Amino acid sequence: MDRVKLVVHPRDVAGSREARRLRRRGLIPAVLYGSGRPAVSIAVDEHALRAAVGTGAGLHAVLDVTIEGQAQPHVAIVKDYELNKVKHIVTHVDFQEIKLTEPIESNVTVRIEGTPVGVSLNDGLLDVVTREVTVSALPTDMPEHFTLNVEALDIGDVFRVADLDVPANVTILDDPEEVVCSVLAARLAEAEAVEEGEGAEPTEPEIVGEREAESEE
């Protein structure tokens, strides 16, 4: 995996007013921490950030973060970010400095592809239990996602974490028996819905790593 260069700006002033001023200039408040050093307040250009995570590695891209005015880059990853769910903009980013020789832990998305035969031919319902797993790998070996083809699943069939196709240099930390998805008979799915509370208002699923900013800073 190639490392991506990202130039950021030092930030001395904190507070919500400064954060709003930065965003008007197209900059996102951020912090860089790790390697036993105190966290450093920085700001990153939103277009530069989008380009950095728009590579094949996505949010798992290994970044050479260079603070403007400094010569030595910091090898880092995007550890977390805050998202304004109304405006759909990133409001804060956490960069974690890492060592390329040490494994890191991260959540990796499971992409489900295909329509199960139990759905297309037997009127079943695909029940997706989880859409991501926690893995450990060297930063340059971290996969962007796992792909799970479910076309062969019939009524009653289950895909578990252990069934994911995982490279040898990647370790899944979740329980291998944890269910990723299964195909339910329509009647069983209806019964489960009643048990969970028929008529209850649906809630929007929370996406790990995307949390609504509770504050401007």
The pLDDT, as a whole number, for residue 16 is 72
Domains and CATH numbers, the chain: 4-98 (2.40.240.10), 104-196 (2.170.120.20)
**In this predicted model, which residue has the larger pLDDT, 38 or 136?**
136
**For residues 208 and 107, is the Cβ–Cβ distance under 8 A?**
yes
The pLDDT, as a whole number, for residue 207 is 30
206 pLDDT more than 60: no
For residue 68, give the 3-state DSSP assignment: coil
What is the C-alpha to C-alpha distance for residues 133 and 162, in angstroms, rounded to an integer?
11
Percent above pLDDT 70 for the chain = 84
Residue with structure tokens 């060297």?
138
For residue 198, give the 3-state DSSP assignment: coil
- Which band of pLDDT confidence, cut at 50, 70 and 90, is reported for residue 194? low
**For residues 28 and 48, is the Cβ–Cβ distance under 8 A?**
no
**For residues 48 and 6, is the Cβ–Cβ distance under 8 A?**
yes
The pLDDT, as a whole number, for residue 84 is 84
What is the C-alpha to C-alpha distance for residues 174 and 176, in angstroms, rounded to an integer?
6
The pLDDT, as a whole number, for residue 36 is 81
What is the C-alpha to C-alpha distance for residues 115 and 9, in angstroms, rounded to an integer?
47
For residue 115, give the 3-state DSSP assignment: coil
Q: How many CB atoms lie within 10 A of CB 16?
A: 11
Mean pLDDT (whole number) for 63-92: 91
**In this predicted model, which residue has the larger pLDDT, 116 or 55?**
116
Mean pLDDT (whole number) for 121-147: 94
The pLDDT, as a whole number, for residue 196 is 63
**For residues 28 and 22, is the Cβ–Cβ distance under 8 A?**
yes
For residue 161, give the 3-state DSSP assignment: helix
**For residues 89 and 79, is the Cβ–Cβ distance under 8 A?**
no
pLDDT tens per residue across span 163-182: 999 999 999 999 999 999 99
The pLDDT, as a whole number, for residue 23 is 85
Residue 109 φ then ψ, to 5°:
-70, 145
Of 41, 49, 12, 31, give the one whose Cα is nearest residue 96: 31
- Which band of pLDDT confidence, cut at 50, 70 and 90, is reported for residue 189? low
Q: Which two tokens stand for residue 33?
A: 């921490």
- Which band of pLDDT confidence, cut at 50, 70 and 90, is reported for residue 134? very high
Most confident of 85-99, 135-149, 180-194: 135-149
56 pLDDT more than 80: no
- Helix H, strand E, coil C: the string for 201-212 is CCCCCCCCCEEC
